[in-house]
Amino acid sequence: MKKSKVLSFQKNKISAINLQETLIVLAIIGILLLLALPNLMPLISKAKSVEAQVQLKAIYNAQTTYRYMHSKYSNIMGELDFEPPRTVKENGTANYVYEILSADNATFKARAEAITDFDGDGVFNVWEVDENGNPKQIVKD
């Protein structure tokens, strides 16, 4: 009777992967990620720079509205209908700080400067917008 139980148990055996095979697969995935990460860094930096472009466009729109009302651009961020997002240093989500560099009756220039180094090379990304409304990358990260 014992032999029949052993034989029936062996017949119901299901094939599966063992711990060693799982660890080998995880190691291969880790190596592939390490190889791919340097190639993905420019894409990560580009994706994070979208924040600066969107916020600079909002500053441009706020400056345009202010100019229609006061016949000049504003030097003071608080006068505009724009509230900069809280940065990661202030427990927020923004990676850029925003400032107005210059403003007069006909022109203005605003800047977005990264507060984090996206690719670890010591260079911080900088974008600017002027009265034409097209954000330009000044310093590439």
Exposed/middle/buried for residue 101 (C-beta within 10 Å: 0-12, 13-18, 19+) = exposed
Q: What is the DSSP letter of 95?
A: -
Instruction: Record the pTM.
Output: 0.72
* Residue 80 located in a structural domain: yes
101-107-109 Cα angle (round to 5): 25
Is 31 domain-assigned?
A: no
Q: Is residue 54 part of a domain?
A: yes
Average per-residue pLDDT for the chain: 88
Three-class SS of residue 67?
A: helix
pLDDT at 85 > cutoff 60: yes
pLDDT at 78: 92
Is there a domain that residue 123 lies in? yes
The tally of domains found in the chain comes to 1
Yes or no: say if 116 and 34 are a contact pair by the CB < 8 Å rule: no
Instruction: Indicate whether 36 belongs to any domain.
Output: no
Residue 15 lies in a domain: no
Amino acid code (one letter) for 140: K
Mind listing the pLDDT tens digit for each residue in 1-20? 555 555 565 667 777 788 99
Look-up: residue for tokens 């995935």? 29
Among residues 101, 98, 73, which one has the least CA distance to residue 86?
98
Query: What is the domain range of residue 97?
Result: 41-139
The proportion of the chain whose per-residue pLDDT surpasses 90, expressed as a percent, equals: 66
Distance CA 49, CA 42 (A): 11
Give a yes or no: residue 6 inside a domain: no
Please check whether residue 47 lies inside any domain of the structure: yes
- For residue range 115-135, what is the model confidence (pLDDT) as tens digits? 988 878 889 999 999 999 999
